[in-house]
Structure 1
Amino acid sequence: MMEHKRIVVIGAGIVGCSIAYYLSKMGQRNITVIEQGPLFETGGSTSHAPGLVFQLSFSKILTTLASQTVETFKELSTDEQRSFYPVGSLEVARTSERLEDLKRKAGVASSWGIEAFLLSPQECAEKNSLICPERICGGLYVPSDGIAKPLHAVDKMTRFSKECGVEFYGHTEVTNIEVTNGQVKAVYTSAGKFEADVIVCCAGFWGPRIGEMVGVTIPLQPMAHQYVFTNDLLELNGETEETATPLIRDQDNAIYFRQVEKGLGIGSYQHEPFPVELSDITKYGETKEMPSVKPFTPKDFEKPWEDAMELIPALKQAGIKKGMNGIFSFTPDGMPLLGESQAVGGFWVAEAIWVTHSAGVARQMAEWVMNGAPTVDLELCDINRFDTYACSPVYYKQRSIEEYEEVYSIHHPFMQRKVSRNMRVSPFYMRQQELKAYFNEKAGWEQPQWYEANYPLISTYEKKMVIRKGWSAEYWSPIIEAEQLHTRQYAAIYDTTAAKKRLEIKGEGALQFLQKLTTGNIDITVGQSIRTCMLHERGGIKDQITVIRKNISTFLIVCTGAVEASWIQKHVPQDGQVVFQDVTSGTCSIALIGPKATGVMKSVVQRSDLSRTWLQGQAKTLFIENSSVLALRDSYGGMESWELITTSDQGLNLWDLLIEQGQPYQLIAAGDRALENLRIESFSLKSGKDFWSEHHPYEVNLHEMVDLTKPVFIGKEALLDRQRKDSETVLATLILDDPSAIVMGYEPVFYGETALGFVTSAGYSYSLGKGIVHTLLSQAVHEEMVLEVEYFGQRYKATMMTHSPAVV
């Protein structure tokens, strides 16, 4: 518990008030909420938000947060004051492409546990009689969606919070924040000084200004968005409730609708982006409108209005009563910004949150502050997920604008980013361009997906290859399959520079620190490596990492990404006994994989006894010509594998030498998509993809990475407690019975009409001639069950594998 902590929440919108509410419910006291505007119609986004809650998205975490928000708002509703109207929602399809996307969305509804129904045009009109069925191809109905009344919820929350001792200060502007030795100490305001051990920034689009006070970049971009109120519709003349008809979302025309008494509220994303500079946003009371509202621009609503009238003909007789351009926050990847900043201890952020996810975020944030970790995995929302490149205003403004433009697009899992590209390139980039690489972006790096130079390989392997069609063939090339098959037969080099973070931990206390940080015994021989887990305080898997002992007091850590690296850095003791260095940008990495990989290595290190003297899991620093290389011998999918890490200035020489010496072994450069296919084909699981921090090692077959004889490691007690309880999920690998079946990920797995879980990774095994899927299923599953995977509404039978998959 943290009852001795002094917590200051900045911002009294729906997020700030919800966090104070949940902290109070968990027993926390000494909470102060500070708001620059009035209490509680503050003038921020909460004050003008239309309140539509569409829970379902292709993101599991956003769907979970939205569902928890609905749960909270329903609990806070009374007959006298409704915080939520469960009127349901309709997403309509104007095109066949959108209808197919709604089929996919209906599938993930089953995956995430949301009730949803695909409807015909006439059935959509029966749910909401305003719709013209001749203008649509069908729709998706979610009965549990509805309208949130955030100010009503805030009223109920703050009454409870005040009874628990929470103090609220309105018309109180934050002027500065005191930070001492990297830890927050106090908040200075127009009403005086508030001492604080924990500060939670919930200031909405004003958040970046608060972040500047402590030197923390909060990469969000305020954007204006059009919303209008119509005059009364004759068809709604008999309505007595504020809202009773299902919400409508017409994503093909980027507009949405909700009933407001006897009229409609209509929002549009159809117009060009309207980014708003923070310096142009007024304070409360300085203008007639609230700060979060800009003047309406009628010309930009002309086309949306035409489209709206086509879908809802009754609007032709109604007309627009008033409109506004309301401001809300966008981020570079469309996800919220949550958690404690690694840069400043005690400075927590809960920003870029829509009403849809507000109470769910608050509940998880309260658990995170109180217990050291939330119940659900929030790594995709973590404020520390961006490297320094993303702290550039140019970067996050451009990306946020792109997010706005694509908000209602049909999103493919491999869709490329168009802006802020070529920010980070490995030293192999010029060679990859020569090989006509098709690039995508990962953590700011340009990462080859496949190489057009390998096109001739198609004719070699085309009789074995599976050719994709339709959705699965978008952002895909048959070259991927050829590279996969060629690696299996010969060898390939993969640029893995962007795949992981590389950290160096050294000093007298390095071993002791890593022993506490991980579940395995890190006191290994110099030159050895170990795969182990890091757990958070609740016993969940923070990451599965590789540790290489370079010498007695120096270790190289290979972890998943920026969030995990920041978590490690956060735990580094401040006594000077441990030195942490992120060496990712100054190094590069090549994976040499395939049955001929060791042959290639023998030719570049000039040693014929390599297989005998260099054991699997062993790492050595050696010269390969002029390049000093840390080489780790390993296996990947049962094949010989070598991970070669060198400094960025030596990378190109290493690449060229491998390509030259690998010619007798038919070595090729291959892309990331083939590498991922090889992982799945080898039945290997991946941290952050097939399991995450909601899971503990024993439920995802990582028990061999846990050494319970260690006296202490982070999360040990919680792990022992969770181990004693029955797990709710199990990891299982399924083989699709139909050889032609291909799925993409997140599809539901059914036993009869019961959804038991969902697909995490999906690939194709050329050795089996069938598709493979890794799944997270309920514990009730067993091998005798006839399971089915649903893909765009079609069911494919699947057989469960009997052996445990591996982990990479």
Structure 2
Amino acid sequence: MTLPTHARTVIIGGGVIGCSIAYHLAREGRKDIVVLERSKLTSGTTWHAAGLVRRLRPSATLTKLINYSIDLYGELERETGQATGWTQTGSLTLASNQDRLTNIKRQVSLGRAFGLEAEVVDASRARDLWPLIEVDDVIGAVWSPSDGRVNPSDVALALSKGARARGVQIFEDTRVTGLQKIGGRISGVEVGDHVIEADEVVIACGLWSREVAAMAGAHMPLYACEHFYILTKPLPEVQALGKGAHLPTLNDQDAFLYARDDVEGLLVGSFEPHAKGLPLDRLPADFSFDLLDEDWDHFMPMMENALRRIPALEKAEVRMLLNGPESFTLDSQFMLGESPEVPGLFLMGGMNSTGIALAGGAGKAMAEWIIAGEPTMELNEADIRRFSPEMNVLGALEARIPEVLGRHYDNPFPGRSMETARGQRRSPIHAGLAAAGARFEARGGWERAVHFGGEAAHLPLTFGAPAWREQVGQEVETCRSGAAILDQSAFGKIMVQGPDACVFLNRLCAAQMDVPEGRITYTQILNAKGGVESDLTIQRHGPETYLLIVGANETVRVMQRMRDTRGDYRAEFTDVTSGYAILGLAGAQARDVLQATTNAAVPDLKRFYFAPVEIGLARGWAGRLSFTGEEGFELYIPADMAMAAYEALVAAGASHAGLYASGSLRIESGFRAFGHELTPGTTPLEAGLGAFCAMGTGFVGENALRDHKPERRIVSILFDDPAAIPLHDEPIYFDGKVVGQITSAAWSYRFGRSVALGLINAPLDLLETQDVLDGFEVEIACARYTVKASLKPAKVAFA
């Protein structure tokens, strides 16, 4: 077979991910697809994966993708004749402390939102299900009967066979040496001197994806680590199960272990706390079906854990210690989507040891994105646009990724934060906040102050009442009755200028942009289906000049959306995030404190207006709005003057508050947040924001909203029991049926119990006629709690 000179779609990588994307593109009717594999299909990482497939995951997106994968793997053999090795064995997850038990119970509750049943069992039942384990320290477990395993290479081969049957051309031993662009858009793939012109290119080449993406100037922040598991020779205890019988997959996350039977022996792997990063220059150029050197000194602490849990291993003869490379991302979620830097270049990788389980669903999601031009399902947590180019720094990846692997089995406590690669992006007032005792978390590369009081107010982490509750309560009170500085400098700032700036923004945004100078407009950017792509405020600074203020993780996606929407509009846009600080000043005394910093009069502003202001030695402008829902301002100050302004505010009596305080107040006020209440699959009408849509202006998504009758709504929720502590995604019940999920939650200092926002699909008729409706329940860690719900903000509805 000869390499073509043109293809509609070229996929680089013949592992399970590349084969899945090719299969799903072809199944959707896409023609003229080429797959290029540098070695042989399944080489690299796919062939040595453990093949474990667990349905229960900590998020809605992951659960949906994996459920699809399981259904697909069961069907592929019937379609292609190629076995996938899918075997439904079930899985058993152990807990040897109360926090672990709470965490796995939370996953059970989340699964029930999707109709997945799992059973919480005691140690005795766990021993019955996995007879080889020692359970003297086990306090509970979760049995998930619908989980299973596959043979990773067979899955990839089945997908490739299905793809070939639909006309996909697959070329092995074909190394890509370069990528070409025309006018900034991907245009071709170089294989030595040969060029394949392409309408779109997909990079799915595992460990090498970051380097291949860089050939086109695209950013793909992932990095490899060494990953270990042992294989034993046959064990009598496993042979005694009988021919064809299997043990469930065992997960002992407190011991950093997973295990399953393998050819009458055992496979035992680990996510060890102190992982080993792998610079790619350590791999030979022809690394294919190869492994890394055994490292028993490194693996021995995990082996000791395994011996304690599975005593039969003491008599086992180890066949090999397999050490294979896998790639991980900065936040332990995989990435997929169109490159924000290079149109037509699609990227997928960093599977974080879940590539086999996710391959089917994620490959389908990527194929649909390529065909539709945008995601067709909720993919925010995996969307590559969450990573800015600033995060693709090799030093940060080398420091952070081993920690990501090492914390793979950590309990996801509220307040948990990575410890490595810290301080990458700092606010202009970072030093002042640190001196004031800020506790920082790394979010999107930024150091964000979540509360004050330092380490003493933060630890220990727990799923119960957090250590910072009292401290944050003081900050909330300051936001109400005092004057609290809230550092919002991580928010994105995008300047839009040009003769067509107004009409361009009216096309881009749902609200009316033709407003007076000095006006601030709250709006959303929508997709063609009417879903929310971003939630932002826009300031009009002149006839042809606007400033967009977007969420801290939304800058990349907004810039891409603007690029895709601009067309022939005479408008330019520039990311000026690093040029300005934003200081929120919230509370009843905010105006007095601001006035005390200067002899110049603080302007008397109406809500959602802005004007120039002097703050001590600094000069900027003040906007009359507050994300807390309390009285206050947002102060926009050139970065080089921000410390001067901050020092003047502190000297005038301002105190401090962090993200936890503003989050509590936001939810009480019913303010929606992108990535929580607002997503690409949620419309403004479902979110109760229809009043902010200027119908008739021709904005993207308007047609979808015109006849849209919401069948889901965002509601405010108040818990009756102060002991209930929701976090996110918990299922909401009404009349015994799941009707939705929690989208945001926090402790309410106003009510002395938890408050939340949730998206529900019933009973909307009753909510429309009653200010407050009882009869709802929320399930947290397998326990049900009664709640009240309302379409109004909590601080209004439940007062």
Same fold, judged at TM 0.5 (above)? yes
1:505 matched to which residue of 2?
A: 496
In structure 2, the CA distance between the partners of 1:325 and 1:381, relative to structure 1 (3 Å rule), is same
Is 1:792 the counterpart of 2:778? The answer is: no
For residues 392 and 454 of structure 1, what CA distance do their matches in structure 2 show?
A: 28
1:628 matched to which residue of 2?
A: 619
Mapped contact 2:610–2:624 kept (Cα < 8 A) = yes
Query: When the two structures are superposed, what TM-score results if normalisation uses the length of structure 2?
Result: 0.91
Paired residue type of 1:578: A
1:53 matched to which residue of 2?
A: 53
1:410 matched to which residue of 2?
A: 411
For residues 120 and 296 of structure 1, what CA distance do their matches in structure 2 show?
A: 37
In structure 2, the CA distance between the partners of 1:77 and 1:373, relative to structure 1 (3 Å rule), is same
Mapped contact 1:243–1:258 kept (Cα < 8 A) = no
1:765 matched to which residue of 2?
A: 748
- Per-residue deviation at 1:192? 2.9
Percent pairwise identity: 28
For residues 379 and 695 of structure 2, what CA distance do their matches in structure 1 show?
A: 27
In structure 2, the CA distance between the partners of 1:283 and 1:779, relative to structure 1 (3 Å rule), is farther
In structure 2, the CA distance between the partners of 1:9 and 1:653, relative to structure 1 (3 Å rule), is same
- Per-residue deviation at 1:305? 2.9
Q: How does 1:541-690 map onto structure 2 within 5 Å?
A: 541-560=532-551, 561=553, 562-571=555-564, 573=566, 577-604=570-597, 610-611=603-604, 614-661=605-652, 663=653, 667-690=654-677
* Unpaired stretches in structure 2, ≥5 consecutive residues: 1-5, 768-772
1:745 matched to which residue of 2?
A: 728
2:347 matched to which residue of 1?
A: 349
In structure 2, the CA distance between the partners of 1:475 and 1:33, relative to structure 1 (3 Å rule), is farther
Task: Please identify, of 324-333 and 53-62, the stretch whose mean Cα deviation from structure 2 is larger.
Answer: 53-62
Mapped contact 2:627–2:662 kept (Cα < 8 A) = no
In structure 2, the CA distance between the partners of 1:790 and 1:306, relative to structure 1 (3 Å rule), is same
For residues 610 and 394 of structure 1, what CA distance do their matches in structure 2 show?
A: 46
The one of 252, 265, 278 equivalent to 1:250 is 252
For residues 137 and 597 of structure 2, what CA distance do their matches in structure 1 show?
A: 66
Mapped contact 1:243–1:259 kept (Cα < 8 A) = no
After superposition, what is the alpha-carbon deviation per residue over 1:366-422, rounded to whole angstroms, capped at 9, x for unaligned?
A: 111111222222232232322343121000121111101111122213112211112
Task: Please identify, of 567-576 and 304-313, the stretch whose mean Cα deviation from structure 2 is larger.
Answer: 567-576
Paired residue type of 1:168: I
Paired residue type of 2:488: T
- Per-residue deviation at 1:425? 2.0
- Per-residue deviation at 1:507? 1.1
Mapped contact 2:669–2:793 kept (Cα < 8 A) = no
For residues 186 and 244 of structure 2, what CA distance do their matches in structure 1 show?
A: 44
For residues 381 and 625 of structure 1, what CA distance do their matches in structure 2 show?
A: 43
- Per-residue deviation at 1:803? 2.5
1:462 matched to which residue of 2?
A: none
After superposition, what is the alpha-carbon deviation per residue over 1:336-395, rounded to whole angstroms, capped at 9, x for unaligned?
A: 121111211211101112112111111111111111222222232232322343121000
**SS of the counterpart of 2:167?**
coil
- Per-residue deviation at 1:267? 1.0
After superposition, what is the alpha-carbon deviation per residue over 1:431-488, rounded to whole angstroms, capped at 9, x for unaligned?
A: 2233222222222222222233999xx9xxxxxxxx9995344462521111102321
For residues 297 and 431 of structure 2, what CA distance do their matches in structure 1 show?
A: 47
- Per-residue deviation at 1:504? 0.6
**SS of the counterpart of 1:302?**
helix
In structure 2, the CA distance between the partners of 1:659 and 1:351, relative to structure 1 (3 Å rule), is same
Mapped contact 2:537–2:549 kept (Cα < 8 A) = yes
Is 1:491 the counterpart of 2:474? The answer is: no
In structure 2, the CA distance between the partners of 1:163 and 1:744, relative to structure 1 (3 Å rule), is closer
For residues 187 and 84 of structure 2, what CA distance do their matches in structure 1 show?
A: 39
For residues 131 and 746 of structure 1, what CA distance do their matches in structure 2 show?
A: 33
**SS of the counterpart of 2:757?**
strand
**SS of the counterpart of 2:177?**
strand
When the two chains are superposed, the root-mean-square deviation of aligned CA atoms in Å is 2.8
- Per-residue deviation at 1:295? 2.4
Mapped contact 1:16–1:33 kept (Cα < 8 A) = yes
Mapped contact 1:414–1:475 kept (Cα < 8 A) = no
Paired residue type of 2:438: A
For residues 96 and 200 of structure 1, what CA distance do their matches in structure 2 show?
A: 44
For residues 148 and 389 of structure 1, what CA distance do their matches in structure 2 show?
A: 38
2:760 matched to which residue of 1?
A: 777
- Per-residue deviation at 1:699? 1.3
For residues 23 and 806 of structure 1, what CA distance do their matches in structure 2 show?
A: 49
Paired residue type of 2:745: A
* Unpaired stretches in structure 1, ≥5 consecutive residues: 459-466
1:171 matched to which residue of 2?
A: 173
2:317 matched to which residue of 1?
A: 319
In structure 2, the CA distance between the partners of 1:177 and 1:183, relative to structure 1 (3 Å rule), is same
In structure 2, the CA distance between the partners of 1:574 and 1:537, relative to structure 1 (3 Å rule), is closer
For residues 487 and 404 of structure 2, what CA distance do their matches in structure 1 show?
A: 28
For residues 147 and 222 of structure 1, what CA distance do their matches in structure 2 show?
A: 24
For residues 609 and 622 of structure 1, what CA distance do their matches in structure 2 show?
A: 6
Mapped contact 1:520–1:705 kept (Cα < 8 A) = yes
In structure 2, the CA distance between the partners of 1:135 and 1:597, relative to structure 1 (3 Å rule), is closer
- Per-residue deviation at 1:233? 2.0
Mapped contact 2:83–2:158 kept (Cα < 8 A) = no
For residues 202 and 469 of structure 1, what CA distance do their matches in structure 2 show?
A: 37
1:137 matched to which residue of 2?
A: 139
**SS of the counterpart of 2:35?**
strand
In structure 2, the CA distance between the partners of 1:804 and 1:431, relative to structure 1 (3 Å rule), is closer
For residues 246 and 774 of structure 2, what CA distance do their matches in structure 1 show?
A: 42
Paired residue type of 1:749: I
Paired residue type of 1:327: P
- Per-residue deviation at 1:601? 3.6
2:231 matched to which residue of 1?
A: 229
- Per-residue deviation at 1:426? 2.0
2:338 matched to which residue of 1?
A: 340
1:708 matched to which residue of 2?
A: 695
In structure 2, the CA distance between the partners of 1:496 and 1:346, relative to structure 1 (3 Å rule), is same
Q: How does 1:252-401 map onto structure 2 within 5 Å?
A: 252-270=254-272, 272-284=274-286, 290-291=289-290, 293-353=291-351, 354-401=355-402
- Per-residue deviation at 1:243? 6.3
Is 1:717 the counterpart of 2:703? The answer is: yes
Paired residue type of 2:661: A
- Per-residue deviation at 1:231? 1.3
After superposition, what is the alpha-carbon deviation per residue over 1:37-63, rounded to whole angstroms, capped at 9, x for unaligned?
A: 12x3x3221111110012323233222
Task: Please identify, of 366-375 and 475-484, the stretch whose mean Cα deviation from structure 2 is larger.
Answer: 475-484
After superposition, what is the alpha-carbon deviation per residue over 1:203-251, rounded to whole angstroms, capped at 9, x for unaligned?
A: 0001122112112232111111112211112233255666632100111
After superposition, what is the alpha-carbon deviation per residue over 1:111-153, rounded to whole angstroms, capped at 9, x for unaligned?
A: 4543222111111122233333334222111222110233333
- Per-residue deviation at 1:575? 5.8
For residues 792 and 613 of structure 2, what CA distance do their matches in structure 1 show?
A: 38
2:463 matched to which residue of 1?
A: 471
In structure 2, the CA distance between the partners of 1:134 and 1:77, relative to structure 1 (3 Å rule), is farther
- Per-residue deviation at 1:590? 0.7
- Per-residue deviation at 1:786? 1.6
Mapped contact 1:439–1:446 kept (Cα < 8 A) = yes
Query: When the two structures are superposed, what TM-score results if normalisation uses the length of structure 1?
Result: 0.90
In structure 2, the CA distance between the partners of 1:436 and 1:133, relative to structure 1 (3 Å rule), is closer
For residues 270 and 319 of structure 1, what CA distance do their matches in structure 2 show?
A: 22
For residues 494 and 349 of structure 2, what CA distance do their matches in structure 1 show?
A: 29
The one of 732, 753, 756 equivalent to 2:739 is 756
Mapped contact 1:371–1:538 kept (Cα < 8 A) = no
The one of 520, 528, 531 equivalent to 1:540 is 531
